[in-house]
Structure 1
Amino acid sequence: MHPNISPLTREVGYDGTDMDTSASPRTVTGRVDVHPRGFGFLTVQKPGTPEVLSAFIPPPDLNPLFAGDVVSATVTASGEGRWTASGLSLVERTRTVVYGEVVSRKGAFFLRIDKEVSNTDWPLDPGTTPVQHNDAVVARIADGKVVLLYRLEPGADRSLERVIARHGLHRDFPSEVVQEALRAKEAPHALGGSRRDLRSIPTVTVDAPSTRDIDDAISVLPAGPDGAVRLLVSIADVSESVKENTPLDLEARARATSVYLAGRVLPMLPEELSAHWLSLVPNEERHCLTVELRIDPDGRVTAADVYESLIRSWARLNYDEVAAFLDDNSISPAMEPVREAMPWFRLASARLAVSRAARGGMTMSRDEARFTFDTATGAVSGLAGEKDTSAHNMIERFMVAANEAIATWLMTRGVPTVYRVHEQPDPQRVADVNAFALHSGFAAGFGAQITPLALAAFDRQISGAKAEAALRSVLRRSLGPSRYTVKPGPHFGLAAPLYLHFTSPIRRYADLAVHRLIKAYLHGRRDFVHEDPEIEKLSQHINVRARSANRAEADRHHELEARFMSTRIGQQFPARIVRVKPFGLVAQLDGMWVEGMVPAEGLAGGPYRPDTRELSMVGKTRTFTVGMPINVKVVSTDEQLGRVEFALVE
């Protein structure tokens, strides 16, 4: 097994008895979390359940440990349901690389490691590399020592390197992986063979202008006199070039996903491969896996066919020009080769939209903030919000339909796979949404068990409302995350009986695994294991890496927010409360997408405490609620911790 996989998926837990204070003390194995204020927590999860025990680790006991360390410890109940860990013993060190800044004391060098990773300075072995006080470095952990790997150049983006090391992301590809990618890129490829030839069918790709790893292409054709259309979603056949258990595959598996850090992408596959032979660039023949859907006039998918194909993209389009066509019939020069096909894309999208609306669920908007950077200095030059266009919505409908069809196709053939499952929300979380909606002037009307159609009706109510961002924030938390598993189940948010990821094998390993299983079946394999435990093991690994990627992307975003706002200390902005924490209010600046904390201790009329649902901060004479508009002033920023502090302006 690849050395970067096993530590990430190690199970930690206890003996399975009930977690109550009557069982104190007890010995457990858990994972260390480090708080920037110097203390820590031991997190222990009961195997096979979401139940978690969190035990406090005092600062002195945390000194020899790093975030992510697996340790055994004795946990003792300390009243009010709280636990304290003592007698910590290292079981496994999962972290191999750390970021920090050099501190010089009495002629010796120490490394002040990222506060999210360690609470103390570690002696640094610089080797033969000259270092000086305040240098930013990346070091490796070996036999309990911190040994310098490399020193960052002056002007390097410290935030970026800190986030990469903090979350154990893979920065560069090993040389043997790059060489294998180059060989795969340069190897002669026999085009065609038994593949279905789709080169004569008008086919397009739709992506952002900056995208280089294009992995999906679409075609739509009339299907017959009954009014049906054929939607062809063709996906780059990555598995043809990335052979299982090769160094290239093991590195992709260890990464599990591409990570999109503002200003830098850490791809799952080397660019030598993903942006060249695998990318569905226009006017080049490419091998794909295609799922062909027959969509009737009512928007129902009445048939699906899956096959290996040979395609040629007729045009590379971007979202803006496709949106201009969908909204205003505007034809860009790039569309000329597929001018006659464009109305059929719009028709297929409209039919799928009607069908999905009829079954409920919701499409989570990808409205987000994007940073722009000075090309000469790399400094953050701007921050602007981006909203989905009609073109984004069209492509999302096509990809969701393809993913659903593949999930059903594999299930009906008895092929185990990596499903994407989203459970029905917990009744208590549903009650939280009901309560907050009423407080905000909306009646969600959810029962104890929310339904996809009820969710869709609520989505329609809040669309465009002033409190929409706050309502969606509460709704997202109530819906919870989706996850990968070999065990088939519905995707509640999409109102899909079965779902998986098939359409992005260049950037998601789950999709690559699905491709391999499809091809195994197409090539005659039938000896599949029901709910194969190896696929479940892979699914759990991908879940872990996906969560790390999400946290890294969020940390990077928050650090750049802090950097961006550091030049705006003292300025005032209108904002809206989006979350309530035990220690204060999280507010988002109107039109700027920047979030910051208003500490509760700075609010007049205190003391304040959050209500049980953390939807309001309640004081003696005043209450602050999620969704409430406020005015704030920027007080301070901390880029290392990604924090912006506001003060309320009355």
Structure 2
Amino acid sequence: MEITEKDVVNFLKHRGKPVYFKMLRKKLGVPKSEQKLLRKILKKLQKKKIIRYEKGKYLLTEWKTKGENLIEGRVEAHPSGYGFLIIGEEVEDLFIPPPQMKYLFDGDVVLAKAVKRKKKDEAKVVKVVQRAIKTAVGRYYRDKTGHYVLLSDTVIPHRIYLSKKEVKKKKLEEGSYVVVEITQYPAPRVRGKGKILKILGKVKNTQTVAEIIARKYSLPTEHSEEAIKEAEKLSPVVRITKNRRDLTKQICFTIDPESARDHDDAVAIEKEGNYYRLFVHIADVSYYVKEGSAIDREAFERGNTYYLPERALHMLPERLAAQLCSLRPNEKKYAFTCEMLINRAGKVIDYDIYESVIISKAKLTYDEALRIIIGDPALEQKYPEVVQPLKDMEKLAKILMKAKEKRGSIDFDMPESQILFTETGDPYDVVPYERHLAHRIIEEFMIIANETVARHMYEKGYPFIYRTHEEPDLDKVIRFVDLVAGLGYEVSYPEKITPKFIQKILEKVSGTPEETLVRFMALRTMKQAKYTVENIGHFGLASDCYTHFTSPIRRYADINVHRMLKKAIKGKFTKKDLQTLPSKLEEVAKQCSKMERIADDAERDALDMLKLRLLSNHIGEVFEGIITGVVSFGLFVEIQRYLIEGLISINTLPDHFRYDEINQRLISDKKIFRLGDRIKVRIERVDEDLKKLDLSYVE
């Protein structure tokens, strides 16, 4: 009698524990001559009902919660080749060693068994439940192993092999970037296979990078037809109604980067004796984006706009982001206004929050605003109405900065860079991005508006989304203090962790060669800010109450903040709202926090890709660098000119060095390398595919 799938499943159920193939064959009475058929059945069943693991044992998938103690988790890959199995917030991650990561992708959902190890428990992956990646971007190569695509948009670069026929048909040139669909995933003794969906070209420019990043982080590059149709139907007519204040005659204006196409905020100021009346007008996006609409659903999924080099993937359709909502000059616009009366100590002594209609009188860039403040006759003539308001704004911003500093707000102010591109989107240089007084004016005004709005909602006790930042862990702060002491500064351990304590250390190093490093390490000590429905304060800003109200065109959290504020000022919170909204808002807060992390990673990744492309033209050249990491296998050094990190392998250093982990140093008989040291480095090798920058030390 021929064996069936049902026979195998019934036997495994009855057996109640994993079985080797040999025993399975014997117990089912399958002769050696028919073992091929049994293997075929087992292979088929592996896709749905059974798992093969540990030296070829077979077990039923449904046993994962029984005696075998199999755990389901998500794979988090690390560029160095290993990974972690993320099981949940309350459970410690399991280490996945490199040999297993060869067959896994970041984000895969797997079943695994915990294996005890001395240092950290390991995950023995038994089955991949769900693959995170179906299509990917990579570069086509050919060698003695065959034709393959080396994936660029996965954390660990996998090889996906192509058939000769496919390569010939697509006329693929070696080194071309392509989009590939994975048809067979890599497994022990099994190659990953795929087919080409799209050829992107040979050069890594802004278009290629945007495609790689969008696929790597699953970012949507287009809006749905439904959302676009909804946006097209929205009326461009702006009416002054009885529930909106008519501020169309007020001198308000926008200040943004030169490249900005959407304008979230406009500002206005009036001097009243020793007081300043500040108006922060924010685009009234929630007027247009109704809850539950296709536009709203897509904005929730995206969480925010993604700013890639020379390309923005907008949270809202173009018609809303750049036209209807954007506070463009000389156009009537719906706004949501936070009006504040501020005294000489930088304290808000009175405020009002209301819907309004405004007309921005000018669209200034940060540089133009600065030039008007310091005196530029040509610009003063071009924008006569904004000259005095800008001078008053400068005075108020300085008052607010002083008040913020007094309470202990931490200014990390890390150096930033921007890439310059040719018209075809090819990078040709990296230059410092300077933040100056005009940036600070807008920053201070947005912070005070965010605090005022948050405090209003907190005092009323309504459901709300806060922007929160927990205090850092004590052990991290102690390590930070040790590091600063190791650099030769007199510092003591804190009795209580306060923003003021961190701020004072940063003041000590201000203007010294170690300043950038200490700021960087202080930033590493901090926890990440996030969105929460509980108000736990903002440690970095030394603020007891904070939210995000000022950027609804590019952040979904802000749209929800506007919705809650409108309910509050119109007295529309119902008993049902008070019961149901906190859990709804918690879901929004979690999604926005998650997508913000993705945006940060994606934007940083895109910049690094283009910087590596630039550096491939500078191999052999020498640059100034600062040691940002000391590890047992070498030194991580940030090249100051390009703000990108590379590695000096310990094997290439001109002596025998030992690793001093406690003091973050590499020591030899003749030399010591410490965290924060400024050194000269030579670029030895740039691998754009593996995103590696190899450096050597120049004495």
Q: 1:211 aligns with which of 257, 260, 264?
A: 260
**Which deviates more, 497-506 or 105-114?**
105-114
Deviation of the 1:149 alpha carbon: 4.1
Once residues 612 and 159 of structure 1 are traced to their aligned partners in structure 2, the CA distance between those partners, rounded to angstroms, is: 39
Matched to 1:532, the amino acid is P
Q: In the superposition, relative to structure 1, how do residues 237 and 582 fare at CA in structure 2: closer, same or farther (>3 Å)?
A: farther
Deviation of the 1:97 alpha carbon: 3.6
Deviation of the 1:90 alpha carbon: 2.8
Q: 1:101 aligns with which of 124, 139, 144?
A: 139
The residue number in structure 2 matching 1:13 is none
SS in 1 for 2:409: coil
Q: 2:248 aligns with which of 192, 199, 223?
A: 199
Once residues 565 and 167 of structure 2 are traced to their aligned partners in structure 1, the CA distance between those partners, rounded to angstroms, is: 50
Q: Does the 8 Å CA contact 2:611/2:642 hold for their aligned counterparts?
A: no
User: Which structure has greater helix proportion?
Assistant: 2
The residue number in structure 1 matching 2:75 is 32
Alignment of 1:521-532 (within 5 A): 521-527=568-574, 528-529=577-578, 532=582
Q: Does the 8 Å CA contact 2:304/2:556 hold for their aligned counterparts?
A: yes
The residue number in structure 2 matching 1:18 is none
Q: Does the 8 Å CA contact 1:34/1:119 hold for their aligned counterparts?
A: no
The residue number in structure 2 matching 1:370 is 418
Q: Does the 8 Å CA contact 2:480/2:525 hold for their aligned counterparts?
A: yes
Once residues 553 and 441 of structure 1 are traced to their aligned partners in structure 2, the CA distance between those partners, rounded to angstroms, is: 35
Q: 1:636 aligns with which of 679, 685, 689?
A: 685
Which sections of structure 2, spanning at least 5 residues, go unmatched? 1-66, 186-192
Once residues 107 and 581 of structure 1 are traced to their aligned partners in structure 2, the CA distance between those partners, rounded to angstroms, is: 34
Once residues 167 and 618 of structure 1 are traced to their aligned partners in structure 2, the CA distance between those partners, rounded to angstroms, is: 40
SS in 2 for 1:557: helix
Aligned length in residues: 617
Once residues 292 and 452 of structure 1 are traced to their aligned partners in structure 2, the CA distance between those partners, rounded to angstroms, is: 28
Alignment of 1:494-509 (within 5 A): 494-509=541-556
Alignment of 1:34-433 (within 5 A): 34-35=77-78, 39-47=81-89, 49=90, 52-59=92-99, 61-62=100-101, 64-79=103-118, 81-102=119-140, 111-114=149-152, 116=155, 119-121=158-160, 130=170, 132=172, 134=174, 135-140=176-181, 148-153=196-201, 155=203, 157=205, 158-184=208-234, 186-223=235-272, 225=273, 227-327=274-374, 332-375=380-423, 377-433=424-480
- Could you list the per-position Cα deviations for residues 247-284 of structure 1 after superposition, in whole angstroms to 9, with x for gaps in the alignment? 21121111111112223222212223211111111111
SS in 2 for 1:532: helix
- Could you list the per-position Cα deviations for residues 292-331 of structure 1 after superposition, in whole angstroms to 9, with x for gaps in the alignment? 1110122111122111111111111111122234445865
Once residues 30 and 444 of structure 1 are traced to their aligned partners in structure 2, the CA distance between those partners, rounded to angstroms, is: 43
Once residues 219 and 113 of structure 1 are traced to their aligned partners in structure 2, the CA distance between those partners, rounded to angstroms, is: 50
Deviation of the 1:620 alpha carbon: 5.9
The residue number in structure 2 matching 1:4 is none
Q: Does the 8 Å CA contact 1:25/1:76 hold for their aligned counterparts?
A: no
Matched to 1:384, the amino acid is V
Q: In the superposition, relative to structure 1, how do residues 621 and 29 fare at CA in structure 2: closer, same or farther (>3 Å)?
A: farther
Alignment of 1:564-579 (within 5 A): 564-579=614-629
Once residues 606 and 560 of structure 1 are traced to their aligned partners in structure 2, the CA distance between those partners, rounded to angstroms, is: 35
Q: Does the 8 Å CA contact 2:72/2:87 hold for their aligned counterparts?
A: no
Q: Does the 8 Å CA contact 2:465/2:560 hold for their aligned counterparts?
A: yes
Q: Does the 8 Å CA contact 1:25/1:77 hold for their aligned counterparts?
A: no
Matched to 2:104, the amino acid is L
Q: Does the 8 Å CA contact 1:137/1:151 hold for their aligned counterparts?
A: yes
Deviation of the 1:595 alpha carbon: 2.7
Q: Does the 8 Å CA contact 1:230/1:294 hold for their aligned counterparts?
A: yes
The residue number in structure 1 matching 2:7 is none
Q: In the superposition, relative to structure 1, how do residues 243 and 303 fare at CA in structure 2: closer, same or farther (>3 Å)?
A: same
Which sections of structure 1, spanning at least 5 residues, go unmatched? 1-23
Once residues 122 and 30 of structure 1 are traced to their aligned partners in structure 2, the CA distance between those partners, rounded to angstroms, is: 28
**Which deviates more, 211-220 or 333-342?**
333-342
Deviation of the 1:574 alpha carbon: 2.3
Q: In the superposition, relative to structure 1, how do residues 235 and 128 fare at CA in structure 2: closer, same or farther (>3 Å)?
A: farther
Q: Which has the larger radius of gyration?
A: 2
SS in 1 for 2:364: strand
Q: In the superposition, relative to structure 1, how do residues 595 and 273 fare at CA in structure 2: closer, same or farther (>3 Å)?
A: same
Q: Does the 8 Å CA contact 1:295/1:302 hold for their aligned counterparts?
A: yes
Once residues 280 and 610 of structure 1 are traced to their aligned partners in structure 2, the CA distance between those partners, rounded to angstroms, is: 56
Identity in percent: 29
The residue number in structure 1 matching 2:694 is 645
